[in-house]
Chain A
Amino acid sequence: MVKINGQEFDCAGQSISKMLEEQGYNAPKVAVEVNFSIVPKANFEEYILKDGDSVEVVHFVGGG
């Protein structure tokens, strides 16, 4: 299981890109941290989530 924003999901083995898609996030508008370390967008495709990982996804909306 992988913890995403505090909730557990069965997405070990998935890339960050795939996980974001399944969770309904728009990848260019998020910042992602795995186990308290920021993952640059350039690595979303290749970064594979492991059992026990803790992921934080922050999504941004427009306006300022």
Chain B
Amino acid sequence: MDNEELKIKMIKSLEERVGPDIQKKFLNARVAICGLGGLGSNVAISLARAGVGYLHIIDFDEVDISNLNRQQYFPEQLGMKKTEALSDTLRRIAPYTTVKAECVKINDENAAILLKDVDIICEAFDDAVNKAMLVEQVLVHFPEKYIVSGSGMAGFGSANLIKTTRRLGKLYVCGDNESDVNDDIGLISSRVMACAAHEANMILRLILGETEC
């Protein structure tokens, strides 16, 4: 089966599961993922598997051995740019998804330029100051866009403490809002993935026009 034929079959299969109307909305959706670590790499894969048609993935970093405990990279990708490594994985998982990859550090000067091409933004940074910066930039520059953020998923606490809440108009925050990686409690794959799944799920709901958490 050639690539085009495979794409058509995969989309058809997705349509059979959720119906063509929902699948069309996913395929037409445009989402940016800011930060491709434990949250971002998992969110990207969830959205691609669901059939989201356009993903703008952004990170400045390279795959490090310390990432492999929770981030969706492989040992043979060590040293690669995360944007390149994840683009390759997404292409293999979801050939129907268009991936725009940018290897750049997002800051308060470039955020508004980088994020013009999407309707929904996933904040998936590691650092709390950067999380607050991106949320501010999106809410100031793009009052029409949604931003879904992750905050509080470190340690071994109950996964039941991780939840999605709507804050500040078009901001949704996923996490337990408390457990901080800087408290030396580490980051474990299952809990980070639970938080990433909350983010991905909220994004898919927003694509469908569902604004309740």
- List residues of A whose CB falls within 8 A of some B CB: 28-31, 33, 36, 38, 40-41, 56, 58-64
Contact = CB atoms under 8 A, between A and B. Distances in A.
Given A31-B168, A38-B168, A60 B139 contact: no
Contact of A61 (B40, B124, B178, B192): B178
Nearest to A58: B167
Given A38-B136, A41-B136, A60 B167 contact: no
B167 A56 contact: yes
Interface string B104-140: 0000000000000000000011111101100110011
A19 B178 CA distance: 21
B139 A61 contact: no
For chain B, the bracket of interface size reads: 35 or more
Interface of B: 35, 37-40, 124-129, 131-132, 135-136, 139-140, 149-154, 167-169, 171, 173, 175, 177-182, 187, 192
A58 B153 contact: no
A28 B132 contact: yes
B168 A58 contact: yes
A58 B135 contact: yes
Given A33-B169, A63-B181, A40 B140 contact: yes
22 contacts: A28-B129, A29-B128, A29-B132, A31-B132, A31-B135, A33-B139, A33-B168, A33-B169, A38-B136, A58-B171, A59-B128, A60-B131, A60-B149, A61-B151, A61-B175, A62-B126, A62-B182, A63-B154, A63-B192, A64-B35, A64-B38, A64-B125
